Amino acid sequence: MPNQANLETNIIKMNDNKSVDLSTEDLHVWYGENEAIKGVSLEFEENKITSLIGPSGCGKSTYLRSLNRMNDEIESAKVTGKIMYKGIDVNASNVDVYEMRKNIGMVFQRPNPFSKSIYDNITFALKRHGIKDKNTLDEAVETSLKQAALWDQVKDQLNKSALALSGGQQQRLCIARAIALKPDILLLDEPASALDPISTSQVEETLLQLKEEYSIVIVTHNMQQASRISDYTAFFYVGNVIEYDETRKVFTRPKIQATEDYVSGHFG
Ligand SMILES: Nc1ncnc2c1ncn2[C@@H]1O[C@H](COP(=O)(O)OP(=O)(O)OP(=O)(O)O)[C@@H](O)[C@H]1O
Ligand SMILES: [Mg+2]
């Protein structure tokens, strides 16, 4: 198990001139009395994939959910500190959460398509955001399904129920649904954990293509996945980030013993 002394070093930032759209500063999250995130400061570089790794229960999902205020939905949750998105404090009370989530989209662990057609899954939120023009909607459906590497498989059956798709296809549909809104940032919480290896590698391919246009933050338990797809990796341990660096450094030359123990499979 990691040395407690290592847990002091929880503030880690990219300190060169990287382009950063999203960051947190001294972020704390409580569920009632339980402090799940204990002052995490991280910066996410634009057009890169950042993996959040660490043992179960260490706060990865809590942290990820706070980035677009999904914790607002949890009554006992209290968030303090700053979440900065393009100079705006996401956590401020006057932020329009609905609009903000258009820019900071999220994909969950279990594919959760609406019980609607493939076409309607993608256009639902666009319509709620006031887009009515059929050509614009058709185009959004095609573009986002192409970006999510699903278009070729479903283009002739857009009216079919999304629930009739395979798990991997459903997850790519959820990715398409998120990117149809053209977010800047895509948050994904273990998006491939319910998928077979082939669907997993398709989702990974999709993410690698998407980073050309989006900044991606992904929670994963799969060390191979983190090292295959991410540029940066943050290691979470009991509510703190104890190491944050380029992925290849985290996996080959970690600075902290706990990180080395975790990435080499000794605990967690
Ligand atoms: N909705 C909730 N209400 C109360 N406590 C919660 C809630 N969600 C998470 N917690 C608590 O917060 C801590 C961090 O949980 P979190 O789900 O963020 O961990 P995680 O790193 O994502 O774990 P896993 O790898 O198992 O998904 C845990 O102690 C958990 O019990
Ligand atoms: Mg989790």
State CA 223 to chain mean position distance.
16
Q: Cα(94)–Cα(156) distance, rounded to whole angstroms?
A: 44
- Is residue 94 in a domain? yes
**210 CB neighbour count, 10 Å cutoff:** 20
If you average pLDDT over every residue of the chain, what do you get? 91
In the chain, the number of structural domains is 1
- Is residue 180 in a domain? yes
Q: Which residues contact 259 (CB under 8 A, 6 or more apart)?
A: 235, 242, 243, 250
What is the extent of the structural domain holding 134? 4-263
CA-closest residue to ligand 1 atom 31: 57
pLDDT at 202: 87
- Is residue 96 in a domain? yes
pLDDT at 152: 93
Cα(240) to centroid(ligand 2), Å: 14
Residue of 60, 62, 63 best suited for mutating to test ligand 1, as the one with most atoms within 8 Å of CB: 62
pLDDT tens figures, 88-97:
999 998 999 9
Q: Cα(206)–Cα(19) distance, rounded to whole angstroms?
A: 23
State CA 7 to chain mean position distance.
24
Ligand 1 site, residue 78, Cβ cutoff 6 A: no
pLDDT tens figures, 215-260:
999 999 999 999 999 999 999 999 999 999 999 999 999 999 999 9
- Is residue 268 in a domain? no
pLDDT at 16: 57
- Which atom of ligand 1 has the smallest separation from the CA of 109? 27
**108 CB neighbour count, 10 Å cutoff:** 19
Q: What is the CATH number of the domain that holds 100?
A: 3.40.50.300
Mean pLDDT, rounded, for 128-147: 95
Q: What is the DSSP letter of 6?
A: G
- Which atom of ligand 1 has the smallest separation from the CA of 65? 18
- Is residue 215 in a domain? yes
- Is residue 81 in a domain? yes
**From edge to edge, which strands make up the β-sheet containing 104-107?**
104-107, 185-189, 215-219, 49-53, 232-237, 240-246
